[in-house]
Structure 1
Amino acid sequence: MKLAKTLIGALTLTAGGAAFAQSSVTLYGLLDEGVNYTNNVQTARAGAPNGRTGASQWSMSSGVLQASRWGLRGNEDLGGGYKAIFVVESGFDVGTGKLQQGGTFFGRQSYVGLTSSTLGNVTLGRQYDSIVDSIGPMQAGSFAMGAFADHPGDIDNVADVVRINNSVKYTSPNLAGLTLTGLYSFGGAPGSFGRNSIYSLGGHYDIGSLSLAAGYLHINNPNQSFYGNTAAGSATANNLGSVTGVQTNPIYGGFASAGKEQIFSSAAQYTLGAFIVGLGYSNIRFQDLNDPASGNLALTNPFRYTGTAAFNNYNVYASYFITPVLQFGASYNYLRGGSVNGKDSAAYQTINTGIDYFLSKRTDVYIMGAVMRASGVDSTQQAAVPYFVTMTPSNISTQVLARVGIRHKF
């Protein structure tokens, strides 16, 4: 009886303490599903060149206009202008119910921290890097074209295909239109502070109708720390993508042995009423190839590359609200690079278009199309082929996509 009274008293004090703190928790999410037509996709076939052939395909897929997810976000008022904040967010495939992000449950985001309107935010956990925070909203995929308009293979991570584990991030308050951010990810390797570590810096500046942004991302041991940081990641194999049979990332999957990767990205965007136009540039460098710390070199570097493989990406896009509920978007992207050890470079040209009709504030239907043409030699020492994020690479030099879909936010 005495123990029961003690427990009841403790619960009463806990409830009372919670009642004095102003706090909230919000459940939110997004579902995006559609039907695709692709003129050519790689299909495994024994005895065929490179162990595969190509064929047209009708398919259903999730998360193309915007990635499907659900999550919880919350805050607690601590007084004195400070709040505790958290976000946990899980990506999934609407058509199959499977987890995305390599099977990681809270693979999209998972962090906790403190915020102040005058000092900014400090957060710890699995988070977006500074390129995503600063430039992510200023790219073609945000304007009725989705993942089809992402830079090929999302090679510069502007579209946030990869998140950062074990990171500490600072985001400044808005300083007369300028927002700054910086992130550091601890590698956690005994005896080596720098191994598997990642850091990034970025800034976004709004002045009237013009927005400018730039970001830098430095990744040590990218095969492990960056591309392999999900539940499906391997400590020895190639986490960038299969280089034999049906490929998963022919553009840069052959450069998994890099000791470090560096990305610099910049963008500018101008808004004039219902019309938006933007452009961007990124430089991506896979450096110190053939690093033993990347894993089993027979798997991460079967082509015995050394030195640096560099890429440059250029893009331009436009969006226009034909009516308040009807948005049209179009973009062009050019990626070139990957020349190393006498291997020729590859080039990828992409044209995208999309139209999005909003049935309500939370539900819209859309049609999008894209075509990519590849030339040269890719990272797997084969003739370059198109690769769109969320889709299977082509087996020929040109790939054409079309999609009809629906998106609902809650």
Structure 2
Amino acid sequence: MNQSAPSNTLKINMCHMALACALCCTSLAQAQTGTGVTLYGLADAGITSVSGLKAGTVTQVASGIMEGSRWGMKGNEDLGGGYRTIFTLESRVELDTGAAGNKPISGSQLSDRFSQAALLGLPAALQPAVAGVDAALAAQFGVNVTNALFDRQAYVGLVTPFGGFLAGRQYTPAFETNAAYDIMETQSGLSAGQIVAFPAVLEIRANNALSYRFVKDGISGSFMYAAGEVAGDDSKNRLLGLNANYQTGNFSMGFGYNTKNNELGSSSLTTSVFGASMKFGNDKLSGMVIKITDDNPSGMSAIAPLLTPSVGAATATLVQNAFINAFRQDGTLFHIGYRHVTGPHSVSVAYSSYDDNRPANADVTSYGVAYTYSLSKRTDLNAVLVRFDNQNLAQIAPGGNGYLGGITATAGTGSTSMAFGIRHRF
């Protein structure tokens, strides 16, 4: 789900998890020996061409075709007796500009259903007020728009014989399950989360998070509590999450769940992920269903105070309620994918569909193919072809793992993306 706009929720830049099976992170940490700090990273860039945008077809150099480019530091210290301390600091970097964040290919344009007074159920005379709200929302539409230094991960932890305890900015449990059962592991514009980039249906990362992780006899899982840290009310902006995974032989199945409160403390974005996969020699088949609800979208309470000086309290509240209704979510995302690997060649095909149950009925489907040729264990060439079919008021354009495609020219307009890139890990 590659996702960033009015909040971290919308960072569905679908950044690939180095922990695609992050449920097993504690066992990986236990497997390390000695003490030290490792500098690591990934450089991924190429050329992408996206059709259906307001400017027509846009061709550009982009960072993050398959995975978001990044560099980081990780370390561990063996304390003896099965105990170990670990840490990770991971920073995003855009190879095309050297920046730490980026904006969608389509720019700051928002979907018609969020930018046209009539589609919001408001009188045409309130279009200027709507435009003012859109300008504030669009300023936050992108990847790492705050330019945080370690936007991807920043945590420290203690691994014990009975599990791992981590504190800091981390991937959420539901996102980890999504990454494990997306055949693309969130890589490229073909990944499932690309079609629900705005508004996003999943919190990818959480700040101020405490988590517990365990791995034992094919069963793994995690629990997360992310504090909202609002003085006087710890329920505001709070996130709770959990996941569980069972693996035996070539079969795996898992469940992930996130629920977050908005800035007022009301239950907001809630996401449940169910997935399963099976390996057959060089082949893998994976499927996933994600249920999304959000009756109290985050960030909307700031609209009325923003507009009151210019339109009055009553009208400002009317506009705010219209945006709250527009950003509510009730939908189901389906995904199925297949991958075949032989020698240096890897071919993946996937089909994803989002069924929107809200009045906008903004249904989207995506399908396509991704090909990878490995030049070595650390370097590969990639080609991705993906088609988005938008229906009714849907208006999503495909991006990559490190960037958002954005919005098509008009509601119901489809979009095709072709991307070619090189990826190097160090």
TM-score range, shorter chain: 0.7 to 0.9
Residue in structure 2 matching 1:366, options 382, 394, 397? 382
| Deviation per residue, 1:156-206 (Å, 9 max, x gap) | 43xx7x31000101101x221010101001111121121111010101111
Please state how far the C-alpha of 1:302 moved relative to its aligned partner: 6.5
Instruction: Decide whether the 8 Å contact of 2:52 with 2:397 is kept in 1.
Output: no
Matching residue of 2:354: 335
Matching residue of 1:182: 223
SS in 2 for 1:87: strand
Superposition pairs of residues 172-211 of structure 1, within 5 angstroms? 172=214, 174-211=215-252
Matching residue of 1:105: 149
Instruction: Decide whether the 8 Å contact of 1:153 with 1:387 is kept in 2.
Output: no
Matching residue of 1:232: none
C-alpha distance in structure 1 between counterparts of 2:189 and 2:395, whole Å:
17
C-alpha distance in structure 1 between counterparts of 2:422 and 2:158, whole Å:
36
C-alpha distance in structure 2 between counterparts of 1:89 and 1:394, whole Å:
32
Instruction: Decide whether the 8 Å contact of 2:208 with 2:227 is kept in 1.
Output: yes
Superposition pairs of residues 221-260 of structure 1, within 5 angstroms? 221=262, 260=268
SS in 2 for 1:355: strand
Please state how far the C-alpha of 1:292 moved relative to its aligned partner: 8.2
SS in 2 for 1:136: helix
**Percent of aligned pairs sharing the same letter:** 24
SS in 2 for 1:395: coil
Q: Structure 1: which 5+ runs fail to align?
A: 1-20, 43-53, 226-257, 378-383
Matching residue of 2:164: 121
After superposition, the CA RMSD in angstroms is: 2.4
Please state how far the C-alpha of 1:22 moved relative to its aligned partner: 4.4
C-alpha distance in structure 2 between counterparts of 1:268 and 1:304, whole Å:
36
Number of aligned pairs?
329
Matching residue of 1:271: 279
Higher gyration radius (CA): 1
Q: Are the structure 2 counterparts of residues 74 and 138 from structure 1 closer, same or farther at C-alpha, using a change threshold of 3 Å?
A: same
Q: Are the structure 2 counterparts of residues 132 and 259 from structure 1 closer, same or farther at C-alpha, using a change threshold of 3 Å?
A: closer
| Deviation per residue, 1:264-316 (Å, 9 max, x gap) | 01111100111001110001111135x88742346894625449530110010
Q: Are the structure 2 counterparts of residues 293 and 394 from structure 1 closer, same or farther at C-alpha, using a change threshold of 3 Å?
A: closer
Residue in structure 2 matching 1:391, options 405, 408, 411? 405
Instruction: Decide whether the 8 Å contact of 1:88 with 1:106 is kept in 2.
Output: yes
Matching residue of 1:171: 213
Please state how far the C-alpha of 1:153 moved relative to its aligned partner: 3.0
Instruction: Decide whether the 8 Å contact of 1:37 with 1:401 is kept in 2.
Output: yes
C-alpha distance in structure 1 between counterparts of 2:78 and 2:219, whole Å:
26
| Deviation per residue, 1:311-340 (Å, 9 max, x gap) | 11001000001x22100000001102151x
SS in 2 for 1:137: helix
Letter in 1 for 2:157: G
C-alpha distance in structure 2 between counterparts of 1:212 and 1:282, whole Å:
14
Q: Structure 2: which 5+ runs fail to align?
A: 1-32, 102-143, 308-318
Please state how far the C-alpha of 1:77 moved relative to its aligned partner: 1.1
Q: Does 1:135 align with 2:178?
A: yes
Q: Are the structure 2 counterparts of residues 124 and 294 from structure 1 closer, same or farther at C-alpha, using a change threshold of 3 Å?
A: farther
Instruction: Decide whether the 8 Å contact of 1:153 with 1:388 is kept in 2.
Output: no
Instruction: Decide whether the 8 Å contact of 1:335 with 1:347 is kept in 2.
Output: yes
Q: Are the structure 2 counterparts of residues 39 and 304 from structure 1 closer, same or farther at C-alpha, using a change threshold of 3 Å?
A: closer
Residue in structure 2 matching 1:288, options 265, 271, 296? 296
SS in 2 for 1:132: helix
Tell me the TM-score normalised to structure 2 length.
0.72
Tell me the TM-score normalised to structure 1 length.
0.75
Letter in 1 for 2:254: A
Deviates more, 1:400-409 or 1:297-306: 297-306
